[in-house]
Structure 1
């Protein structure tokens, strides 16, 4: 998510178009310094070990480079795989690029590259590269960035799979870093230009160290701990509260005079299984109340805004409510309880309800109806949070303005809580480096969105970007594993054209923004859940190809993405996709289409906005599902009754 701007060139921006500045120095990037190499050519495992009882051995069966690779066999669980200690290799605060080549011995699965760290015996697991499709037909590269942010007594990198326990091969593993540049001090601070409301960034421990901390303190007036205040981080087991992740972030903010947004007290994700175990309504609400009383009280007045409940809307439901366990057990009472208890514990804090895709009319209206109902009951909702995970071509300014207007006059503030602008417009795209036209389109989107927010400063009381710089963004692993560039600063913490779109739009020219479009359709890559209410359409069938990928997996559940490509010469004016599950899987929620399931048979029909597939065109749907035992990939797919090639 990276063009480099050197300090020496910063003074040229006023006179030279930004695209020219990017081109002038891109070739000057220094050669990375490699600190780790594993090629297994010496016939040994080179320090790698299994995470359990699996067997690791140098193998000459296949190799990515040279004649040998590492063979991993005898796995009995998906989390088992090769692990290498990097405790004496990685230094705190340095951003490392880790690259590994993986190949299945048989069949296919999704592989991911992760890091395990331990401090005082407590283990933490961090994904570096999310689920990536791997087969026995060729080598696949897993590449991601990792920055160690805390002192540890154990640190290892490892490879695991998502669904099966099949054998696989590993080869040509490297870790490298590029020496850090100092932050630019001769450009305006974002907070000095945008003064109508606080501008913040979501952070992890990596963002308060060294030059990252310098960049954060210089440009932003507020922070949001991205994951450190969620339930799994603060109460992993019942009534055992820990704040080791969040306390350093909030201490940094306090020391630098920055405001803090608390995220989040209630969410259907990242909630430990024990919360819902054997829980009737009274038990679940009691656990919720206890959690909020402890976490919110721990920080008192230090946290001035809380996202009390997060992502409760599913506009495809008749009542607009997400069918989470919270809702199915308690109805709306979990929301009522969360806000009322939060008000008791943090009486001075602003209390928000937060959701994504609120610029989509159906979702916007469902959230509006809920807020009006609950406020009418006396539930203390102070603000509505609009996440604004968007991309370079979606949404339109008109739809975003309609979102802001909708919530005027009902007694709530509005906050932009998680903004980023992906350079991708579909799940099928992947760029080795960000194209210049996408970076410019991104700058226009930031320009136009911030101009809109500033016009509505009477309603919008803060804007938070979901990250500090492109070297650490969740979009590198979601909805698929690929390098994204969604923020104002690049991977070396230098200002991008997106920064100038916010700070001084004259530096990026006067071309119209793609966001001027009147399209109301959400992009699959921007969405984190359900898209607008779909409607089926019919059309003639044509040649087709389908790609099915499991993009996330956990005990009893998974997330998948399905891409339909029209490989024929005739346009498809509406599509119906079908497949059979063979492992007892069940689709629980789907976006970018509508779904029905009868036994093992799944049928997905297009949404109103993605039914037209020109020759060579494609559409993607994503879904959440449940599974037990195994999660095999469907072997056959049809579109409008015609069998498709499976990629």
Structure 2
């Protein structure tokens, strides 16, 4: 493709419809059939509200007819028919857009144009025109390097494109693939939501009693229990396995309560599962349940998401959204971490089934990692089956053989590892946390208060052995081709002072241990390694794993314990979790020197060392360039210390893939951001390392190819941010209008030439917008 020369645009005034006065404008559009609305004017949109997420994710409320006044008197009012595609949410609407609450008229375009040109938040009235914008923005046109003439030319290009879209046939156009269920309930329709079964007493209906936005919301009354609430069948609205979705909602509880978006599904054995996804507290006030990403596997059936609360308080829900998560391509032209460190150690990551759903996450792992840790799916609470254990006890009378089941989520990750021949690091067999307390009860019951129902040491030793045996046997049977090269046998048994944890149960949330409650101390550690050594696959190395491994008391206790087990041939190595915090300046926890000193001591044991859960958080007050710089410097120092012991360290595993999926997401601890872009800390840990990029082997078909530069261009992606959207069309329009501040690279120009003709012209802008509106392909 060729970039071509810039072509002049026609004067803006020639592209504008004639003005219409406010008095001539219809008060509303809802009563007009779509074909009769071509002469109707735009309904007003209120001022922008603060919102996170997308650049244009403003929350808007449609005003009542005639409630909004013009921003200023006008001479050239832009009046575009509203019966078009909403470019912001890509919905074909019959009246005002229910998704983004814009009217589908030129306001959609002027809003991003204003923000991109001036960084302004424009409060639009019922009339929109260049003069209005000029009156609001004042001299910012000049100070920003954008003259009024150039602004008009660029805006005119977009307006022309929108008008061109008007002429395209609208038959068959529907919601974009990404929008599954997004509603503000203004139409009074709550049919997508249902009660959670016959025992749910909820009454679900639309109400105008107290909406968050607009006039209508969904009321959920007469709830008799906390689990009662509105539920949405994912199959019914078109969700598919293996795809990542985003859910959010605004909710109001009548009195103080915790409201949650949760997911329910049935596994392959017919057992029900419930996962809390996102929660928020409400005290008779509207609050937003934070948007949360989720997915489900093919093995999961009857999947639904629902909103529940802590008790039976009446609930109101508004602005519910369930959409497909955006897809961002990875950077293919940066070094591969596993290749950079090929002469040092494995480079791994932890991943959950939901996290693995997007193709981009899979691509990121395949490019950079040669080790995978299942984030949660091989932990005891994910494997143990209470119902099956009870059934086995009732059938045999033997209470020493707990039953396990490999979940669909575990299979999703293990299938990926098998298909791409990626070694797996098993995590974890014996742990105080995420091990259900019923596992320690004689009858596997949930009655923890009766001290007589707790198992004794002998019973728990038998259960431990049978559990470990079952885990290894199940994985060997179902995944004989997966290389489980390492396993964490015991996890986090010591406090920072080197003492055992306090006795108790993990559900209390205070770090107490049911293992210590039964055994009285950490004497369960050696039997765990004994059984693991007995049943682990040949070649699998066994590790003790812990965090705050640099704390003096814990460091001494772990080294003593591991040295004793080493002498007995029961342990192969120590896992250093390495959840670190750069903070600012000398306040890093720990300092790079303290971490390096601890690493020296662990390596001196002669045991294999693995860094198992590495992440580095940034100070919440410095989530900016200074914070990223400090993070990069700290990561570099930590990796330098690790690399200096490459003969004693066999793997470095990062705990997650991208910042937004991290368990510490709010402090951006990983190497890649939510758009799969490498952060400064990525560059910092590869800088100065000499390596040879090997030939790349296709992991699926096994063919070998010579590595070559990869074309990273995406059609329509003018600014090369990995997405083709309205921002790209605006940038191209500015460039064509000879706006000197609109800079487009060679690749960006090639990406922008989308209309099939040589050279960049206004037709490329029109073509982009049509593709964004789903009227044709890019």
2:465 aligned partner: 289
- Find out whether 1:270 has 2:434 as its counterpart: yes
Q: 1:103 to 1:361 in 2, by over 3 A?
A: farther
Q: Secondary structure at the match of 2:557?
A: helix
Deviation at 1:234, TM superposition (A): 1.9
The separation in 1 between residues aligned to 2:303 and 2:192, in whole angstroms, is 14
1:455 aligned partner: 644
Deviation at 1:360, TM superposition (A): 2.5
2:416 aligned partner: 252
- Find out whether 1:203 has 2:351 as its counterpart: yes
1:303 aligned partner: 484
Matched residue count = 466
For residues 305-324 of structure 1, the aligned pairs below 5 Å read 305-315=486-496, 323-324=512-513
Deviation at 1:113, TM superposition (A): 1.8
- Find out whether 1:485 has 2:668 as its counterpart: yes
1:242 aligned partner: 405
The separation in 1 between residues aligned to 2:630 and 2:201, in whole angstroms, is 50
1:406 aligned partner: 601
The separation in 1 between residues aligned to 2:523 and 2:499, in whole angstroms, is 18
Deviation at 1:99, TM superposition (A): 1.7
Which string of whole-angstrom CA distances, capped at 9 and with x for unpartnered residues, describes residues 485-538 of structure 1?
Answer: 3222222323222322222379xxxxxxxxxxxxxxxxxxxxxxxxxxxxxxxx
1:339 aligned partner: 529
Q: 1:389 to 1:39 in 2, by over 3 A?
A: same
Q: 1:328 to 1:298 in 2, by over 3 A?
A: same
- Find out whether 1:212 has 2:403 as its counterpart: no
Q: Secondary structure at the match of 1:474?
A: coil
Contact 1:340 1:379 in 2 (8 A): no
The separation in 2 between residues aligned to 1:364 and 1:142, in whole angstroms, is 38
- Give the RMSD, CA atoms, in angstroms: 3.0
The separation in 2 between residues aligned to 1:484 and 1:91, in whole angstroms, is 31
The separation in 2 between residues aligned to 1:248 and 1:34, in whole angstroms, is 25
Q: Secondary structure at the match of 2:320?
A: strand
Contact 1:265 1:309 in 2 (8 A): yes
2:773 aligned partner: none
The separation in 2 between residues aligned to 1:488 and 1:149, in whole angstroms, is 27
For residues 46-125 of structure 1, the aligned pairs below 5 Å read 46-51=191-196, 52-87=200-235, 88-106=237-255, 108-120=256-268, 121-125=270-274
Q: Secondary structure at the match of 2:574?
A: strand
Deviation at 1:379, TM superposition (A): 6.4
The separation in 2 between residues aligned to 1:367 and 1:317, in whole angstroms, is 8
2:305 aligned partner: 157
For residues 453-602 of structure 1, the aligned pairs below 5 Å read 453-476=642-665, 483-504=666-687
1:582 aligned partner: none
Which string of whole-angstrom CA distances, capped at 9 and with x for unpartnered residues, describes residues 57-102 of structure 1?
Answer: 3233322111222222333433332211222332334332222112
Normalised TM-score (structure 1):
0.66
- Find out whether 1:166 has 2:313 as its counterpart: yes
Deviation at 1:320, TM superposition (A): 6.5
| 1:183 alignment partner, one of 330, 341, 361 | 330
Deviation at 1:453, TM superposition (A): 1.0
| 1:358 alignment partner, one of 549, 552, 555 | 549
| 2:376 alignment partner, one of 197, 205, 227 | 227
Q: Secondary structure at the match of 2:209?
A: coil
Q: Secondary structure at the match of 2:659?
A: coil
Which string of whole-angstrom CA distances, capped at 9 and with x for unpartnered residues, describes residues 167-213 of structure 1?
Answer: 22211111234542332221111111122000101122242663322
Q: 1:148 to 1:272 in 2, by over 3 A?
A: same
Q: Secondary structure at the match of 2:290?
A: strand
Q: 1:76 to 1:310 in 2, by over 3 A?
A: farther
Q: 1:2 to 1:36 in 2, by over 3 A?
A: closer
Contact 1:392 1:441 in 2 (8 A): yes
Larger helix proportion, structure 1 or 2? 2
The separation in 1 between residues aligned to 2:245 and 2:670, in whole angstroms, is 19
Q: 1:255 to 1:178 in 2, by over 3 A?
A: closer
Contact 1:447 1:505 in 2 (8 A): no
Deviation at 1:370, TM superposition (A): 3.2
Q: 1:186 to 1:459 in 2, by over 3 A?
A: same
Query: Comparing 390-399 with 284-293, which one deviates more in the overlay?
Result: 390-399
Q: 1:80 to 1:374 in 2, by over 3 A?
A: farther
2:612 aligned partner: 417
Contact 1:288 1:338 in 2 (8 A): yes
The separation in 2 between residues aligned to 1:445 and 1:460, in whole angstroms, is 19
Q: Secondary structure at the match of 2:575?
A: strand
1:586 aligned partner: none
Give unmatched runs, 5+ long, in structure 2: 1-51, 56-115, 120-175, 390-401, 443-454, 477-481, 503-510, 690-778
Q: Secondary structure at the match of 1:49?
A: coil
The separation in 2 between residues aligned to 1:2 and 1:410, in whole angstroms, is 48
Q: Secondary structure at the match of 2:524?
A: helix
Contact 2:234 2:303 in 1 (8 A): yes
Deviation at 1:266, TM superposition (A): 1.0
Contact 2:182 2:323 in 1 (8 A): no
Contact 1:98 1:145 in 2 (8 A): yes
Deviation at 1:228, TM superposition (A): 1.4
Give unmatched runs, 5+ long, in structure 1: 5-23, 477-482, 507-647
Q: 1:323 to 1:175 in 2, by over 3 A?
A: closer
1:388 aligned partner: 578
Deviation at 1:253, TM superposition (A): 1.9
Q: Which runs of 4+ in 1 moved over 4 A?
A: 1-4, 316-323, 373-376
| 1:446 alignment partner, one of 624, 635, 657 | 635
Q: Secondary structure at the match of 1:232?
A: helix
Which string of whole-angstrom CA distances, capped at 9 and with x for unpartnered residues, describes residues 592-611 of structure 1?
Answer: xxxxxxxxxxxxxxxxxxxx
Larger strand proportion, structure 1 or 2? 1
The separation in 2 between residues aligned to 1:367 and 1:76, in whole angstroms, is 50
